[in-house]
Amino acid sequence: MIAEKYPATEIKQATARLAELTQDQRTRMLLEARQIYEVDRRQERAFARREGREEAMEAAARKALADGLSAEAISSFTGLDIETIRKL
């Protein structure tokens, strides 16, 4: 048996070191999971902002079309392509 082969202090040290390494691995895994979560949240927020800006530009383009502005003029102000404006 291992206990017969090694003194108790060495086994205690090895057990303590194993617990420390295992804890470090768990900590690393938790940290990595947290980092992935944070990246996902940032990407979701960035997507929502982009989507909101696009919706705002489309709303402005609809209003400008209703006011009689040309698709070309609207495109230069909003950055929307002319085909998108014509579909509105």
CB-CB contact of 78 with 63 (8 Å):
no
The total of structural domains in the chain comes to 1
What gap in Å lies between CA 81 and CA 74, rounded to an integer?
A: 9
Determine the distance from the C-alpha atom of residue 84 to the mean position of all C-alpha atoms in its chain, rounded to a whole number: 28
Per the structure, the complete domain to which residue 51 belongs is given by: 2-87
Residue among 78, 76, 77 at smallest CA distance from 56: 78
Angstrom distances, CA of residue 15 to CA of 3, 7, 26, 75: 12, 13, 16, 69
Residues of the chain with pLDDT under 50: none
What gap in Å lies between CA 15 and CA 7, rounded to an integer?
A: 13
